[in-house]
Amino acid sequence: MPGTGNQPDSTTWWKSRADRMVETQIVSRGVRDPDVIRVMKNTPRHKFIPAHLRDHAYNDHPLPIGSGQTISQPYIVALMTEYLELTGTEKVLEIGTGSGYQAAVLAPLVDTCYSIEVVKALAREAAGKLDMLGYDNVVVKWGDGYLGWPEHAPFDRIIITAAPEKIPEKLVEQLAVGGRMVLPVGSHFQELILITKTNKGIHRKNIIPVRFVPMVHPSDPIPDK
Ligand code: SAH
């Protein structure tokens, strides 16, 4: 059809890249959960990064997203999601919304994703993007992740995508008994860890060494509402 026939197919050009990303970076490194694999293939990662970097969207590394922050390497997003062991019914808390990509990966796998971002501009941009793309079970708020989101606690799962130096106490408190929490901990040397909570207490398991941006303490108080 004149006028449209020569246009690149804007809805599918990225699909083959996403499929290849999943096979060569994620399945090849041992991620097995079929739901995680499906969602990683179907999430348009290029929509969450600055336009001039879109060609790199499906490559094997983190990318800058503005405000000095980064969107994690695809493999790490998949690995953390797999460790959450989601069944579709969970209320999840994410700390560090960033671009909104990790929240978009979680959305089809959970009941609701609550996500907190400390940089106001990022929180606003991610919320707008997720809304525009139709992710209607993700709620983003600008705030300090160290405080969690008591109004919605307890959470079945918690995922932290910035690295605190120590495991944040308040977040462990807001994790439901039977819940799982995945986070990087440390300063220079960081370890990705899994915390499981039972009625006997918490259990920590080390997963792999990682490198995330630090989870910061906001210098100015953020208004609660
Ligand atoms: N999940 C993101 C990656 C985020 S990078 C994505 O998929 O794009 C880490 C994010 O954590 C940054 O945006 C940073 O601003 C945010 N962050 C750092 N400290 C925080 C805190 N105390 N509370 C909430 N977010 C924080």
In this structure, the residues whose C-beta lies within 6 A of any atom of ligand 1 are 65, 69-72, 95-96, 98-99, 101-102, 116-119, 122, 144-146, 161-162, 213, 215-216
Asked if 196 and 186 touch (Cβ cutoff 8 Å), the reply is: no
Q: What is the pLDDT of residue 8?
A: 52
In a domain, 30, yes or no: no
Residue of the nearest CA to atom 4 in ligand 1?
A: 98
In a domain, 5, yes or no: no
In a domain, 165, yes or no: yes
Q: What is the mean pLDDT of residues 50-73?
A: 94
- Domain of 134 in residue numbering reads as 60-210
Q: What is the pLDDT of residue 63?
A: 95
Cα 122 to ligand 1 centre (Å) = 9
Asked if 75 and 57 touch (Cβ cutoff 8 Å), the reply is: no
In a domain, 1, yes or no: no
pTM of the model: 0.94
Return the closest-CA partner of residue 188 out of 210, 158, 221. Answer: 210
Total tally of structural domains belonging to the chain: 1
Residue of the nearest CA to atom 16 in ligand 1?
A: 96
Mutation pick for ligand 1 pocket among 99, 106, 119 (CB with most ligand atoms within 8 Å): 119
Q: Is 164 exposed, middle or buried (0-12, 13-18, 19+ CB in 10 A)?
A: buried
For residue 106, the surrounding DSSP H or E stretch is: helix 101-106
Give the atom of ligand 1 at the shortest distance from the alpha carbon of 98.
Answer: 13
Task: Decide if 72 is catalytic.
Answer: yes
Q: What digits encode the pLDDT tens for the residues 146-205?
A: 999 999 999 999 999 999 999 999 999 999 999 999 999 999 899 999 999 999 999 999
In a domain, 32, yes or no: no
Q: What digits encode the pLDDT tens for the residues 17-30?
A: 999 999 999 999 99
In a domain, 215, yes or no: no
In a domain, 145, yes or no: yes
CATH of residue 135's domain is 3.40.50.150
Residue of 10, 16, 28, 72 marked catalytic = 72
In a domain, 224, yes or no: no
